[in-house]
Structure 1
Amino acid sequence: MSSSSWTDRQNRLFEKALAKYDKDKPDYWQNVVQAVGDGKTIDDMKRQFKELVRDVDHIESTGGQNSQYDGGSSSGSGIEQRRNLQ
């Protein structure tokens, strides 16, 4: 599977890991990588995070029309505090 493709399971693991780990710790992204697994890299995590933030911004500004993020389960909680990770 391409590292750019994300399954629903991977997206759920990704979102849980974002909420679970302390973003201020130096090993934050490594912990997220370990939680998601499946050959994903830190760069994959950062790209997915940017996509998630873009989508949350879009949802907030349009009421959710034409969402681009493939995660599906995110309600945006916790994203506000993590936007500075980009």
Structure 2
Amino acid sequence: MLFSTMAPKSQTTVPVAEPTPEVVAQLLDVVADHSVEGALSDIEQMVARLRAGAEEAADARKVLSNTPATVLREALRLRAARVEAV
């Protein structure tokens, strides 16, 4: 397996079977860069889900604020029964 160094001034290919400290340092940089990118992507996806959930919750609050008390009480009773069934 060969590794192309990522040094900005040179593009050389080094056999990984004989890694030098410089090659290992560059490999560590590559791994770290990809780990950060993956983590950032995961965070961005999580934030998007949270925003969508917050919008959905806001819409639900609007509906609930206009729902008659008798319907809310019955809904709470039904919800409690579902929770107990699990």
TM (norm. structure 2) is 0.28
Q: Which has the higher helix share?
A: 2
Q: Higher relative CO (CA 8 A, sep ≥ 6), structure 1 or 2? A: 1
- Give the structure with the larger strand fraction: 2
Structure exhibiting the larger radius of gyration computed from Cα positions: 2
Q: Normalising by structure 1, what TM-score?
A: 0.28
